[in-house]
Structure 1
Amino acid sequence: MRPRQRPADIYLRFLQLTDSIRELPMLPALDPLEERMLQIIARMDTEGGRLSVRDMMARAELGAPATIHTRLKSMREKGWIALADTEDMRRKQIELTQAALLYFDKLSGCLIEAASHER
């Protein structure tokens, strides 16, 4: 008889699967702060909200505004985000690129696979 799967096993399997997709040659890797910022951008996008560079730099939990600005620049150069003009030419809207959306699709697939995986 097989041991019963614990809920933690699903999460651990998910982490294992996500490690494998991070090794794919999709986009350059993100550091932990950039990964957190990408999650914030994606959540705002999902909720239908808009997030400007200024809004992101105001998030104290991410660190100093200069650090956030540097990371946004890095994420843009790596191809994870794009900056779009707004009505006010001084403000730039942060948007996920198609490659970033594909990455989230792959993460979703990992979650589905982990949840359906039986030992």
Structure 2
Amino acid sequence: MGVLLTAFLLAVFHYPTSGDVSTALAALTGTIGTIVGAYFGVQAGGSGANKAANQAEVARQAAEQGRQDAEQGRQEATTTALKLAAAASPEVAVAVTGEPTLGTSGQATTPGGAGP
């Protein structure tokens, strides 16, 4: 800021018209403006990158939570299906699966207890 003010004062006393002063200061003000603009541009870009990284992490965590919830639901459904299958009579098992069940001897049986 001090450099710009010093250059302005020197140009005002050195050049007789305002057009000459502005011409003399154009290179300096353009350079300073470019540096300041680049600085704030980098700051804004860095802020945007941090925000995007945070949003990506939140999305990853939400996806992981959804995967865990789905896995828990699958395990609960499997447990329930196994309990229902264990409690079902052989007739119900054949009606649901279309397959004969294994009796206590390990032989396939059909409803009514008769073997093949």
Band the TM-score falls in, shorter-chain normalisation: under 0.3
Taking structure 2 as the reference length, the TM-score comes to 0.23
**Structure possessing the higher relative contact order (Cα contacts under 8 Å, 6 or more residues apart):** 1
Higher strand share: 1
Looking at secondary structure, tell me which structure has more helix per residue.
2
Q: Which TM-score applies when normalising by structure 1? A: 0.23
Greater C-alpha radius of gyration: 2
